Each structure stands twice: as C-alpha cells, then as structure tokens.
Structure 1
Amino acid sequence: MTKLRPNEGKLDPLSGRVLHIVGKAFPKTESGYTLRTHYTARALQDVGFEVSVVSQVGENPERDQLRSETLENVTYYTLVGSSRSNRSYHDWLDENIEQVREVVVRARPALLHAHSDFFNAITAQAVGNHFGIPVIYESRGFWEESWLSRISERYGIEDWTEIERQWGLPDAYTLRRAREIEARRRSAHVITLAHVMKGHIAQFGYPSSHISIVPNAVSTESFPVLSDGIEELRRVFKIPGQSITIGYISSVVEYEGIDTLIRAFYDLKERTFEEVRLVVVGDGPHLPVIKALNAQLGNGGVVFTGRVPHEEILRYYGLIDIFVVPRRPSPVCDLVTPLKPFEAFSTGRAVVMSDVGALKEIAQDSGAAALFTAGDKDSLSDVLLGLIENEDQRAVLRRAGAEWVRAERTWASNAKRYSAVYSSFGVLPITSML
C-alpha cells in the first residue's frame, strides 16, 4: 500500500483553494455525477474560491502524462494509467494516491473535498494526512444499494430478508458498505444530498452534527422556463401538435421503473379521449428490455430517442407536458435523489414522481409534484389521467416548480452551503481576504 506517512509532506497551502477528488469528470464523462461536480465548481468559483478537480487514474488511459486543462475557469487534472478493472486494487490505489499527491503539490489546496465512492475518500485521506490538510467526504449515493438492486432484478429477488437470515447478504454488498462507513468515519465532515440520506448515514454511527445537506440543484440559466413545444422535434418524432406528451429523461436502468411508466401509458390510452404520446429520452443497459416490453404491450405512441447530448437536452424538455420520475420501490430509490426532476421543474414541466422516500422529500419540499404509489401502474395511470383532464392543475404545478427551484435549488445557493462548511475549517473565499 501507499508509502505516504502522516504529516511528513511539505506544503504551503493557499487558503481559498479547494481540490475536488472524483471518480469521473466532465467533459470526458457526461452524467448527473459529473455535471453536479462541474456546476458546483463553477458556483464556488463565483463566490471567490479557487477550485480544481482531479479524477481517478484510468479515466483517460490514452494520456501519457499528468496534465491539466481549464473549462469555464475550473481546472481539471487528468492522471496517467489504466483503470482499476485491469489490475490489482492495491497497485491501482497506490498509483492513484501518488498521482493525487503530485496534483496537491501543484495546486496547493487548503482543503480536500472527496466525492463518492470510497476509493476517492481513501485517496484524499492518505494525501490529506500526509500534508496535514483536512478532508471532507461527499456521499452522493449508496452504490452498494444500487448494486443490490441490479442483482435483485437479475435474479428476481423481491425480498432479501430470508436470504440474509440463512446466508447473510452478499460479500460484494457488505464489504462495499463497510468501506463507505469507514470512509465517512475517517472524514472531518460529511456532505450528502437529502435528509433521508443524512438519516441513513447517521444510523451507522456518524454524528448528525457533522453531516451537512447540499441538495441537487439546477442552473436556471441553462434551463429556463419553456412556454412552447419544440415543433422541429415533434415533426422528427411524428408527435401530433395537439397531443399531450408524457416524458422521461434519464438513464435507462432497472430501478428507474420505466416499465411501470410504459404499462401505465398503455392503460392511460384506453381511458382518455385525448391524443397522448410517451417520449423516453436516454440510454442504458435496460433499454432492450424496455423496448421488448413496449412491443409486447402495443408498440404504439412511444418514442425512444436514445442518448441525447447534454447541450441538447433543453429542447427535449420542450417536447414534454408531464415529466415522470417513475422510480421503483427499492432501498436505493428510497435513499438517493436524482438530478433530472430539478431540470424539469426549472423548465416549467408538470412533474409526477413515485412516492419512494427520496422523491417524496422533494415533493414535500417543493409542493410542486404529484405522487403515485411506486411500482403501481394503476396509481400512475390515475395520476396522469387526472392531470390530462385538468389543465389548470398542470399549470399550478408548472408555476410552483419553476418558482421553487429558483428560490431554493440553484447551484449559487448551494455554494453558500459549501462555503459554510469550508469556513468551519478556516478555508475562506480568496476575495474575502483581499
């Protein structure tokens, strides 16, 4: 393992400089995870911090030397070497730690801000201890729960209680959970995205007083309120101008519940005289299964766009009248908040969400979303039918969501939350020290 020893590194850190340590980064990888990092870094720059980001060894295996590039005033460091899937974890982690140490020498941060998963926390803690720099850890999700959800889907396991009683939970789950708990325990402070996530972290012994919530948010400039549909896209996808379009935008994975949405859509078509369409925007490993289900149920009125670049997503929100987040009843969905509902709110879509814990928290905070019973296609069909038949209610939801995110869920407001955490470690915006 790493040869770095605590408090032996020589460094003259500059207050106001923060290094974010992540798994993947924008623009090489475009996802909710990398966009949150980038928007956060930009917002922190705007309030006076100097921010840089370093991603793991192996994200850009074609690179032959440690290098940096600047994107919208944020410095991104790219490390050298192959991913951990191609070598032993010990060797990979040693190299990751050593190269992040080099980045710290260059960037001279006063604080290390690690983000999920625990490999980033381990790296940050080794380097932070070496130089005497505080480390905070941002738990953005519980990846062990995501893994268990995929296994449950693959093998048709609805309840692990009896399996756990007889055999225990899989090692891949328990070991990852243990490493995440340890990573949080070794951090000076923990940040997470929602109250339900904070409660989950606290139940494993981390003190609530050392957990801060910095929720998912949206760039309202990038996602303005849209008043009219996008006629060009309607023509491309043969969506009649008078139809009401129900939409989903995100990754196509098992726990998102897109199967429930498709079943509810075909039920809805039988119950309404309105012209309705369903648009599924995104790609993922579950897409073939979803397309097969659609063909089985009717194969009419559903559009699959495939993956759409982030810079074009706004146009697709313009297609949608009612935006649905149909997540299934599962631990990962109960715990982890997605990013896309905030974009939908910001663009003035009427939003419908399943009543899993994390989404229910968003609905309660915003007062701007209709809920249905998770996994229940009849419940979703009922909610959609009610909104289709009540244009005034759709308008109420549209206004409430757009107003709420602008008041409560912007990256600029998040920067103030981060700044409060950073200042508790004596790390202040550079502009405040001039």
Structure 2
Amino acid sequence: MRSPEAPRTDLSSQAEIDALQRENAVLRAEVTQLRSSLRMRAATIFAEAASSPRALISAPGRLWSLGREILNARAWRRVILGLECGLPDDALRHTAPGPGSASTVKTLGRHILSGTDLPRPALHVTDPALIEAISRTDELTRLVRDGPDWPTPAAQAAGPGSSRRVLMALHTGQPDQTNGYARRSHEILTALSALGWEAQGALRSPANDTGIPETLTNLYHRIGPVIPETNGLDAYVAAYADRLFEDIQRTRPALVHAASNHVTGRAAALAARRAGLPFIYEVRGLWEVTRQSVEPLYAGALGYRAQRRMEIETAKAADRLFVNGEAIADLFRDAGIPSERIVQVPNGVAPDQAPDPAAASALKARWGLDDRPVIGFAGSITSYEGLEDLFAACASLKHVPFQLLIIGDGPDMPALQNEAKRLGLDGQICWTGRVTPEDARTAYAFIDIAPLVRKDSPVTRLVPPLKPLDVMAGKAALIVSDLPPLKEFAADGRGVIVPPGSPTALAAALQGLLQDEASRTAMTQAAFAWIHKTRTWPEIAARIAGVYSDLLPRLPPA
C-alpha cells in the first residue's frame, strides 16, 4: 500500500524560516556570552545577594570562584603575549581556556615569560584553545632554535634582465592604509615608475574575498586572500608564498622586493626562490621592538625571540638587504649579514612637498590659533614620544609668548590631557585629535618649532621616523633627542639636539629659538636645502634602481 504523500513545503517560506532560525541562534549566542561574561556574573551575584538571604550567604564563595576565573583569564592573556609572532588575524588572541585548563595555563604563562623550557602539558588537558597554544609554542620554539627550512634555489627560469618589472610584496598599501609604512611604499612605487620601472605593489585580499587577483591602480594589485590549511606561522607563510608564486607566474616580474615584516619577507623569499628570481628584503623597523616599547614584558617572550630570528633568517636569504637607518644596519651586521649586501634606503620627501600658504592659513584659522609662535607636534600620542617632557618644559617657560599644538591621537592622550591641566597649560594648548596626513603636513607651514624629543628606548634607538623630514619640508625649526636615528637630521646646524628625558634642556632650547627668530630662519633654510639635495623620493628611488640594475646585469637602458 502506498504511503500518504508528504505535504509540500513552500521553498521561499522555508528559506525565511531558516534565516530566522539562524538569526535567533546568533542572538541566543550573544545573550549567552553576555550572561557568562565576568562583569555580568559579578553584577548578578550582588543583585541576588541583595534580594535573598540564601544568596547573600553564598555570595563570598561565588565571588571567590569568580576571582579565580579572572586570574586564570589574565594568565591566558600572558600565554598569548608569549606566543604571538606577528601573524595576521591570530585566532589565539580571541580564545580562552576551559576551567579544567586553568593551572596548566598559568604554568605555561610563567614559563613562556621567563624564557625557560616549556613543560609538557598533562594528558587530561583537552581545551582546544590550549591544545592550539601548545602546538604554536612547539612551532615557535623550533623556529627560535633551528630557524626556518629554506628550499634549494630554483634555476633562473627566464634569465635576469628579462624586463623592468618588479613585484613589491607589501604588508599594506595606500588603497587600505595611510600610515607611514603605506606612505613610504607609495612614494617609492611612484618614483620607480617615473624612472621607467614597472613597479607593482602586491597586497593580500581580505580573508572573505573571492580569491580572484584584482588590479587596483597602476601601482597596486591584490593577490587574493591567504588562507592556510592549518594554524600556525609556518602554515600561513607557506600559503602566502603559494599566492605570491601564482602572482609571479601571472605577472612575470624580473625581481621580487618585499618589505617588513618577516611574514611578508619570508613568503616572498620562498616564492622568489621557487621562481628563480633575485630577492630583496627591506627592513623598515623591527615589529617586536615596537611592541616591546608598549609591552615591556614582551622582550623576554618566546614570540619576541622567534620574530627576531625570523627577521635575521629572512635577511640572510636575501640577495640585498635594504634598511632605513644605520642602527638597523648595525643590528644585522652583528647578526652576520655582510656589509656589502646591506644598502641604506632612508625615508624621503616629495620634491614639491612645501605646504600651500592659503591652505595653511585656512587650517590655522580652523584650529583657532592666533599670532603667537606655535610649538607643535604631529603623530601618534604614545609614551615613547616624550610629550610629558615637552609639557614640563613648556610649563617652565616664563615671559615668552607661545601656544602648543598637538595633532593626533593615541593611547596616552587622556593621561597627557590631565597632565596639561595640572601644569596650567590649558589656555595655551590646542588638541586637534586625528587629522588627515595632508592636514598634518600642511600644519608645519605655521608651526614655528617642532620638538621630536622621543624617550630613550629600544625602538627610538632603532627606527628613524618620517616626521623630521616633514618638519624640514614645512620649514619648522627642529629639536630632536640625542638618539641615533634622530640626531643625523639636526646635524650641521639643521636643528637642535637635546638629551632625551631632560625637560630642563628642552626648555632652554625652546626659549632660545622663541627669542631668536633669525636663528630659526637660518636653521630651517639649511634643513630645507639639505632634504631637497639628499632626501627626495626620486633620489632614493634612484638608489633602489641602482641595486635592481646590479642584480639584473643585462638590463637594457630605459
């Protein structure tokens, strides 16, 4: 006998039902996460204790258990601090251990931060995030101990000098970012193109992208998303190298040039070797040192040591190493990179970067500045910039009219605003918050004195910023800390050099420049002439092109 026919379902209605069910599931998950949050649970304990005698009796024990969970969560964050190695979108940052993993997590955190050997976890640990952390730790330990496994270089596929096309693998670019890294990339690509090179910046696509390579402008294209099959640094770099190799096969460059950090550099080196092409690695800074400047404990972490090892190993794999400062060059020489393979490629300015007077006048009026001399800073407001020393110096200036201009934003801004109030600088200071890069550069046309008085720290001793060149291009008088990456800019009468961390010395320098306009003018003219003779992007691109030509000896004339 035939079974009764099943009722027919309206497909459109069923799709709507499925969509509503998915939406409800998301909302339920959000409510569950909110209810399970430590802050909400603490509030619930207090609320229940206020309404029930039984809950009041049990509240101390419940709060004690909650406190243990808070300590375990902090221990887990310390584990992640030790593990992270510059890998983009690290899922481990957003995970937390289960209650059964708490003591192992704390043990891991102590051992990783102290730099000692890692104990093997107990077999009963089953928390997925913790298991992933153990795997990641093993990988980073191997990288610190042994370094990466580099493949044997392939034979030259097409021969050097087959074209003037260069693939520049970049962490980010101006289509997505406007920071100093992206700005340097854009200026170099633009200047190389003007010299007759087909220079293209290769950018990764977002993880949810279609995966199809995409041309963005004449200077940039996307290679598609990097999606490794498994977690970990090696897996990510291998997937990134595969994407770059596919791009090399498609675009047929004669040379591969990658910029910081080691994740991009190592992937580009693997792809270039597989294709048999020359490889250049450009170190613009050491990211582990920058992170250490705001997280001092990171200096002893496994992630820090792994990143340093990866930077050195990537530099050793390169045919040439570009650095943007002598301090970085010294670090790699000490690590065994021959001096003849290291090339200085400093920061630069555009030849026509001088601000427009009309735009500068309008900007000054918009910010409410008057005719008093302007002492100005533009940049990220972080602890190593030494702004508290600048405020202390300004507070000590007597009988000298001036106004302070602070352009930018950052984690230390609230504390510095409180400090400015405490010092009585409220009536003399203008905080602009975050502005466009164009406005920041335009402001130097009416900034009279620009102190860049960074604190003495590993990152400030290593990485030269772009800011001094913007100051000089805008004809503002420069004051810098006596630190290797900064004092070169102020040498030979181009600026004033003061000891780092000395508000007294800074106050004396400010007072002298405020009272002597003729000295300020002579200083700014000398600085302006120097950067336009030695530090324009076309001049820097010519240095880079010279290295390209050395690596491609049969290159025909442009």
TM-score (norm 1): 0.86
Q: Cα–Cα, structure 1 residues 292 and 11, in superposed 2: closer, same or farther, change >3 Å?
A: farther
Match for residue 184 of structure 2 among 25, 36, 48? 36
Q: Partner of 2:98 in structure 1?
A: none
Q: Partner of 1:103 in structure 2?
A: 247
Match for residue 427 of structure 2 among 289, 294, 300? 300
For residues 237-256 of structure 1, the aligned pairs below 5 Å read 237-240=367-370, 242-256=371-385
Q: Cα–Cα, structure 1 residues 429 and 377, in superposed 2: closer, same or farther, change >3 Å?
A: farther
- In the aligned structure 1, how far is the partner of 2:329 from the partner of 2:214? 34
Offset of residue 279 of structure 1: 1.0
Q: Cα–Cα, structure 1 residues 220 and 28, in superposed 2: closer, same or farther, change >3 Å?
A: same
Amino acid aligned to 2:154: N
Q: Partner of 1:135 in structure 2?
A: 279
Q: Is the 8 A contact 2:223 2:243 kept in 1?
A: no
Establish whether residue 65 from structure 1 lines up as the match of residue 211 from structure 2: yes
- In the aligned structure 2, how far is the partner of 1:285 from the partner of 1:55? 28
- In the aligned structure 1, how far is the partner of 2:231 from the partner of 2:418? 37
Higher helix share: 2
Q: Deviations over 1:286-333 (max 9, x none)?
A: 323322322332233222211111233333222311112121111211
SS at match of 1:332: coil
Q: Cα–Cα, structure 1 residues 196 and 65, in superposed 2: closer, same or farther, change >3 Å?
A: same
Establish whether residue 426 from structure 1 lines up as the match of residue 555 from structure 2: no
Higher strand share: 1
Q: Partner of 2:501 in structure 1?
A: 375
Q: Partner of 1:45 in structure 2?
A: 193
Q: Deviations over 1:341-399 (max 9, x none)?
A: 111111211111111111012222x6411111111111111101110010001101110
SS at match of 1:181: helix
- In the aligned structure 2, how far is the partner of 1:377 from the partner of 1:53? 43
- In the aligned structure 1, how far is the partner of 2:156 from the partner of 2:400? 71
- In the aligned structure 2, how far is the partner of 1:362 from the partner of 1:77? 36
Task: Give % identity.
Answer: 27
Q: Is the 8 A contact 1:48 1:429 kept in 2?
A: no
For residues 297-376 of structure 1, the aligned pairs below 5 Å read 297-298=423-424, 299-364=426-491, 367-376=493-502
CA-atom RMSD in angstroms = 2.8
Q: Is the 8 A contact 1:230 1:318 kept in 2?
A: yes
Amino acid aligned to 2:177: T
- In the aligned structure 2, how far is the partner of 1:407 from the partner of 1:295? 43
Q: Deviations over 1:263-290 (max 9, x none)?
A: 222222xx2332x111111222332332
- In the aligned structure 2, how far is the partner of 1:62 from the partner of 1:313? 34
Establish whether residue 230 from structure 1 lines up as the match of residue 360 from structure 2: yes
- In the aligned structure 1, how far is the partner of 2:207 from the partner of 2:420? 38
Match for residue 172 of structure 2 among 10, 24, 32? 24
Q: Is the 8 A contact 2:383 2:412 kept in 1?
A: yes
Q: Cα–Cα, structure 1 residues 229 and 108, in superposed 2: closer, same or farther, change >3 Å?
A: closer
Q: Is the 8 A contact 1:248 1:281 kept in 2?
A: yes
More contact order relative to length (CA 8 Å, sep ≥ 6) = 1
Offset of residue 250 of structure 1: 1.6
Match for residue 258 of structure 2 among 100, 110, 114? 114
Q: Is the 8 A contact 1:422 1:428 kept in 2?
A: no
Q: Cα–Cα, structure 1 residues 404 and 227, in superposed 2: closer, same or farther, change >3 Å?
A: farther
Larger radius of gyration: 2
Q: Which stretch shows the higher mean deviation, 403-412 or 250-259?
A: 250-259
TM-score (norm 2): 0.68
